[in-house]
Amino acid sequence: MSKTSKAAPEKKEVVKKIQQYGKQFPIIGLLNMENMPASSLLQMKKQLRGKVELVMTRKTLIQLGLKDLKLTGGEKLLEQVKGMPALMFTKENPFSLYKIIKKSKTPAAAKAGQLAPRDIIIPAGPTPFTPGPVISEFAALGIKAGVEGGKVAVKQDATVVKEGQPINAKLASMLQRLGIEPMEIGLDLICAYEKGIIYPRTVLDIDETKFMQDLMGASSEAFNLAIEITHITKDTVETLLGKAHREAKAVGIEGNIMEPELVEEVLAKAQRQAQAVATEGNLETH
């Protein structure tokens, strides 16, 4: 039997598996397996066991399997297939899934020819270098540098390569000398698909602390707005009643309304006014 005849059933089986998982699991994660060491992949599989089903195969078979699924908005998912792709099928929340994958990653130095996983920035501040040719090297990379306190310092933050662009040899060397490790060893989740919606990595990568601060700020602003426009809900009714009571009381005191609740304050107000008049009269007679 020829190699071709053996390979054909295997290819059909892979495509069939993609179709089976695509119908069984609501969420599809698209991965890029480039630069993924076998040891790291094995460790990652252990962490995700029971949570996901992983399909690693040729790019053309992944594209074929996704096409056959006929997903709503599936053409946009196909556009994201790149590098050495793999598919991850799961019932996990896309954000939880990304969090698990992100925690498993370890930083690594960049090598010439690798694509930047995100914008790489060399921050402003001192460097370990003494003045010399390194200033010219910085200039060649588009980085403004000068001498401060006997050391070379970067004058302002510099984006040296954009996300998805190749890292050249000179930049890779400089990053390594600066101790900047922009690469990550681990599964690279490009995006997640759920019910016709594609969540790119930038959306899934949430700073939880900042998110909670923003959420609390938005809640506070919404509450203040509801109070301002007198919008009654179970959360605002108590505050609105208190506000209405204070405003009604202020109107009553201003209008000298002799209600049991107001009489003491109305009389105190009258006394202050009378005292003010008396004081003013004494000043005029002197």
Say what the pLDDT of residue 4 is: 45
pTM of the model: 0.53
176 and 98 in one domain?
A: no
Say what the pLDDT of residue 154 is: 93
Say what the pLDDT of residue 138 is: 92
Output the 3-class SS for the chain: CCHHHHHHHHHHHHHHHHHHHHHHCCEEEEEECCCCCHHHHHHHHHHHCCCEEEEECCHHHHHHHHHHHCCCCHHHHHHCCCCCEEEEEECCCHHHHHHHHHHCCEEECCCCCCECCCCEEECCEECCCCCCCHHHHHHHCCCCEEEECCEEEECCCEEEECCCCECCHHHHHHHHHHCCCCEEECCEEEEEEECCEEEEHHHHCCCHHHHHHHHHHHHHHHHHHHHHCCCCCCCCHHHHHHHHHHHHHHHHHHCCCCCCCCHHHHHHHHHHHHHHHHHHHHHHHC
Does the residue 113 lie in any domain?
no
Does the residue 110 lie in any domain?
no
Say what the pLDDT of residue 2 is: 45
Say what the pLDDT of residue 187 is: 78
87 and 20 in one domain?
A: yes
CATH number at residue 133: 3.90.105.20
Does the residue 151 lie in any domain?
yes
29 and 40 in one domain?
A: yes
86 and 23 in one domain?
A: yes
22 and 51 in one domain?
A: yes
Say what the pLDDT of residue 1 is: 44
Mean pLDDT by 10 residues, the chain (286 residues): 57 87 90 76 77 86 87 85 87 82 80 89 92 91 90 92 92 93 83 88 76 79 84 84 78 74 72 75 57
Does the residue 47 lie in any domain?
yes
Say what the pLDDT of residue 3 is: 46
Say what the pLDDT of residue 123 is: 92
141 and 193 in one domain?
A: no
130 and 60 in one domain?
A: no
**Domain, as residue range, for 265:** 212-285
226 and 195 in one domain?
A: no
Does the residue 82 lie in any domain?
yes
72 and 191 in one domain?
A: yes
